[in-house]
Each structure stands twice: as structure tokens, then as C-alpha cells.
Amino acid sequence: MEKAIKRDFGKNGANEPGGSAPERVWRATVLTLFPEAFPGPLGLSLAGKGLQQGRWSLDTVDIRGFAQDRHRTVDDAPIGGGPGMVMRPDVTDRALASVAACPGRLIYLSPRGRVLDQALVRELAAEGGVRLLCGRFEGVDQRVLDAHRVEEVSVGDYVLSGGETAAMVLLDAVVRILPGIMGNEDSPGEESFEAGLLEYPQYTRPAVWQDWEVPEVLLSGHHERVRQWRLARAEEITRQRRPDLWARYLARRGEGRKD
Ligand code: 9D3
């Protein structure tokens, strides 16, 4: 009975029995007033390849499809006064009800939420998928968030014009660590070695470019010296630029943690 407009950007039928999809498909369901914004950059490069291959799926639900009046109204003025408009609870509720059976936590992208970090990204990647509610205007009526026990997630302390770009940030971060997407079966050693540090500097050929030389140790062929140099640079950069990450790294190193 739903008026939802759902679009699946993955390979058609990839999630059906008899298809060529892998056993586990991570499912993203995005509720938005701007479904045409998706997949956007998520359709490119390795995320896009994973989508085409059916390793993950992306469905959008057009919230406006749940408006019932002649003008398909989705917003109204804030009760109590003030600037802007608020997304209506009735329309948002019907949109949320339409994704009740979709897998994963229900997350409202919101500047008031828990700030996204790699720990949350790993949690989400380990689940069956995620359902993302994107707000516009001044946000969604608080009662519908409470009624559906929605979690709130922010992507950082700056002001966006809506939740769609934040949803893309979250999905990019999750999809790149799904098994079989970016060859992350090959590289976890590298990532664990540096857990909690900023990246060491990278160089490619030529070894001399406009009088700028690549650090000599990298040309030495001594893999252990290269490893030590990279670790020292990563530590130096982290200590200088991100005292918060540096303090946590020291604490974890003190506990003997390797992850
Ligand atoms: C009256 C104050 N409002 C506008 C300045 C608050 C406000 C409402 C809606 C601020 C931003 C938004 C839209 N932002 C998001 O939907 C959003 C967001 C963000 O702005 N920053 C960081 N993470 C996120 S996740 C969703």
C-alpha cells in the first residue's frame, strides 16, 4: 500500500536466490526528501563497483511519497515560533514504518548526534545494514524520533544543509571496510600496525622531483628500517597535530593493545 518510491542502485536481482551475489549483502536504506542525490559519489570507484557486484545495496525511500495532502506537504512551522520549518511527524512516521522490516539500526543524521568515528563505522559494518533518516529544514519533529527510538549520529562540528551528505560520508566509511570490497583482506596488517595514528607521508616516483628528494631510507630496500621510519613519522605527525589522538594512542600502547 506504500507510496514509497524505492530505487535500488545495485545490480538488478543481485540479492535474489539464484543470483550471483555473495551470501551476505550489506543493506543501506536511506530515507530522504532528495532521493536523486543518491548514489552520488557512492556510485563511483570501489564503492560503486561493490554496489554493481551486489556486495552491498542502496535503497532510497522518498519521504515526500508519504505526504497525503494535495500539495504533498512534508514540513510545517515550528510550534512556539522561530525561524525555518520542521519535518512533520505524521509524514516522517509513515516513511519510517515503511522500512520497519529493513535490516540494521535506525539512525537519524543530526548535528546533535554522537560523532561518527571508526569504532561506530566498524560496528555498523558488522551488522546486516543500516537505515538512515536524512533531515532537511530545521530537522524532524522530536516526537517521531522518540517514538521510533532513533539513534542520532553527527559527522562533525560544522553546519551542513541537510543529512544527505552526512549519510554519504557514513556509507562511504562503512562500505570501504566490507569484506571483499576494497581488498581489505590484504591490508589489515598495515592498518593494525598504525591503529590510532595519522598516516605517514607517501612518495612515488621520480625519486627527485623539482630538486625535492624522497627520504633516503625509503630507497634503501631495508624493509625494517622503512617500517621504523614510517612509524616514527606517523607518531610525530599525530603528536604535533592531534594531541587527542596522541593521548589515546599512548594509553592504548601502555595497555599493550594491538587493534
Ligand atoms: C537553528 C540552527 N539550525 C541551523 C543552523 C540547526 C541545524 C539544523 C539542521 C543545523 C544543521 C542542520 C542540517 N544538518 C544536518 O542535517 C546534519 C549534520 C550537520 O549539520 N553537521 C554535522 N553532522 C550532521 S548529520 C546531519
Q: What is the pLDDT of residues 38-70, one digit of tens each?
A: 999 999 999 999 999 999 999 999 999 999 999
CA 178 to chain centre: 12
Q: Which atom of ligand 1 is nearest to the CA of 134?
A: 16
Please answer whether residues 161 and 227 qualify as being in contact, where contact means their C-beta atoms are separated by less than 8 angstroms: no
Q: How far, in Å, is the centroid of ligand 1 from the Cα of 104? A: 23
> Ligand 1 mean position to 110 CA, how many Å?
6
Better-scored residue on pLDDT, 180 or 206: 206
**Is the Cβ atom of 85 under 6 angstroms away from ligand 1?**
no
Give residue 74's pLDDT: 98
Per-residue pLDDT tens for 121-144?
999 999 999 999 999 999 999 999
157 CA to middle of ligand 1, Å?
9
Q: Give residue 107's pLDDT.
A: 99
Q: Could you tell me the pLDDT band of residue 195, with boundaries at 50, 70 and 90?
A: confident
Separation of CA 33 from chain center: 19
CA gyration radius, the chain:
22
CA atoms within 13 A on the CB side of 154: 11
The pLDDT, as a whole number, for residue 70 is 98
| 168 close to ligand 1 (CB < 6 Angstrom) | no
Q: What is the pLDDT of residue 1?
A: 43
Tens digits of residue pLDDT in 5-46 = 566 776 644 444 444 545 689 999 999 999 999 999 999 999
In the chain, the percentage of residues whose pLDDT exceeds 90 is: 82
User: Left if phi > 0, otherwise alpha if psi is -120 to 50, otherwise beta: which for 230?
Assistant: alpha
Residue 109, pLDDT score: 99
pLDDT tens-digit series, residues 72-113: 999 999 999 999 999 999 999 999 999 999 999 999 999 999
31, 131 contact by CB (below 8 A): yes
Stretch 151-162: mean pLDDT, rounded? 98
What is the pLDDT, as a whole number, of residue 259? 61
Is ligand 1 within 6 A of the CB of residue 30? no
How far, in Å, from the CA of 5 to the mean position of ligand 1?
25
Query: Of 30, 33, 138, which is best to mutate to test ligand 1, by the most ligand atoms within 8 angstroms of its C-beta?
Result: 138
Q: pTM for the whole thing?
A: 0.93
